[in-house]
Amino acid sequence: MNTGTGKTALITGASSGIGQELAKLFAQDGYNLILVARSDDKLDRLADVFKSNYGTQEITVIGKDLATEDAAQDVYNQVKAKGLAVDVLVNDAGVGLYGLFATDTDWEREKAMIHLNVLTLTQMTKLFLYDMLARNEGKILNLASLLSITPTPLMAVYAGTKAYVYNFTQSLINEVKDTHVTITALLPNATDTDFFFKAGAENTKVTDEVQDPVMVAKAGYDALMAGKSKAIPGGFKNKSYEVLSYVAPQETLAAVMRDKMKQKPEPDENEPKISLAWGIGFGIAVIAGIALTIGYKNTSDFTKAKYKYKAKSAGDTLSDTFSSLLDTVVDSVVDAYQTTKAKAEKVVSKAEDVEEEVAV
């Protein structure tokens, strides 16, 4: 169904990865395209493929290094000079950098990353959003990350830039809520692109759980078209990570992410493993925690304050131990979700009783 026929989508970072997959979806849906990336040659080849496979009528290629000063303004000027109106803006372009901030990473690369991930995205949004509001129509998709809602040692600056993107996007959503313009944040987990190689993190543990960029792009595209505020691809597991990022102590989250961002260890048959009993025990604790969270939503502000204080105190004490188990717990809970659903519902039904005990 060519719902976008006659409309134009501008995609940055369109030459590879999630950006390329998003561009493909727009092409399939009948959109005219403005493709932006550093490599003109890659974009030209991609344009030929889209024209051949999907019959895309108009494709404009803009070769631009978006990490340079006023790159967004230059892109905007080129678009306006061609008499084009952008109906959908996709701010996909972004880079990462791996290593200890104080000793391993290079400032010039970090500065370019901040410029690309933050400054260019912000200016692109400002320029094209103004035009969309003038027409009272348009859509914007900003690529954030699951790292935007959790501290991430060894990729501290990158995670900081994505935290900005997510917060910025959610703020703008409120500002434009009374218009026909919608803005969406895409929060993928680690994705199978060249991102980790370019960041110098290709041998980290997190690369063992990368997701398909086709799936990630489709989840972002569907959320964008539906006007949703955010999309977290990957099903229940990744949504569980989101919930944990809101309720777990920051110290614990930082420790968990530090472990996930470590280099892969050498194979060791004698490496100690977490027992099944530990996994089940903590899985039950997480399910109980979900029930407490549901009950917590209905408590008074005073009770919430007491609960937060107790949770913070307990979290500070258990942070080091919990961090080594949390990731395994999430996997255990996801695997057991279907079989424990009925029991969890019974726990939820007793949430008010549990809430009274928490408040004491």
Give me the pLDDT at residue 209, please.
81
Query: Do 168 and 105 share a structural domain?
Result: yes
Give domain status of residue 322, yes or no. yes
Buried b (16+ CB within 10 A) or exposed e, 245-259: beebbebbbbbbbee
Give me the pLDDT at residue 203, please.
82
Say which range, 62-76, 120-134, 245-259, 284-298, has the weakest mean pLDDT: 284-298
Query: Do 246 and 229 share a structural domain?
Result: no
Answer whether residue 150 shows pLDDT above 60.
yes
Q: Which is more confidently placed, 155 or 319?
A: 155
Give domain status of residue 104, yes or no. yes
Query: Do 246 and 231 share a structural domain?
Result: no
Give me the pLDDT at residue 318, please.
43
Query: Do 341 and 316 share a structural domain?
Result: yes
Please tell me the pTM assigned to this model.
Answer: 0.77
Query: Do 253 and 192 share a structural domain?
Result: no
Query: Do 65 and 32 share a structural domain?
Result: yes
Both tokens assigned to 253: 């989250």
- CATH number at 47 reads 3.40.50.720
Give me the domain span that covers residue 207. Answer: 8-235
Query: Do 77 and 222 share a structural domain?
Result: yes
The domain boundary residue, chosen from 187, 210, 235: 235
Give domain status of residue 84, yes or no. yes
Query: Do 185 and 299 share a structural domain?
Result: no
Give domain status of residue 62, yes or no. yes
Give domain status of residue 1, yes or no. no
Q: Which is more confidently placed, 137 or 268?
A: 137
Answer whether residue 84 shows pLDDT above 70.
yes
Q: Is 104 exposed, middle or buried (0-12, 13-18, 19+ CB in 10 A)?
A: exposed
Provide the domain count of the chain: 2
Give domain status of residue 346, yes or no. yes
Query: Do 106 and 199 share a structural domain?
Result: yes
DSSP characters for 34-89? Answer: EEEES-HHHHHHHHHHHHHHH--S-EEEEE--TTSTTHHHHHHHHHHHTT---SEE
Mean pLDDT computed over 198-225 = 89
What contacts 165, CB < 8 A, 6 or more positions away? 91, 117, 118, 121, 142, 143, 144, 145, 148, 185
The domain boundary residue, chosen from 202, 235, 268: 235
Query: Do 248 and 203 share a structural domain?
Result: no
Answer whether residue 337 shows pLDDT above 60.
no
Give me the pLDDT at residue 207, please.
79
Both tokens assigned to 160: 């900081």
Residue 187, classed as helix, strand or coil, is coil
What contacts 219, CB < 8 A, 6 or more positions away? 186, 188, 231, 232, 233, 234
pLDDT digits (tens, 9 = 90+) for 237-252: 888 888 888 888 999 9
Mean pLDDT computed over 309-322 = 45
Give me the pLDDT at residue 227, please.
97
Query: Do 228 and 106 share a structural domain?
Result: yes
Say which range, 71-75, 99-103, 139-143, 309-313, has the weakest mean pLDDT: 309-313
Give domain status of residue 2, yes or no. no
Closest CA to 146 of 223, 225, 250, 233: 233
Please identify every residue annotated as catalytic.
158
Which residue is it, tokens 């940055």? 12
The domain boundary residue, chosen from 193, 214, 235: 235
Query: Do 247 and 193 share a structural domain?
Result: no
Give domain status of residue 3, yes or no. no
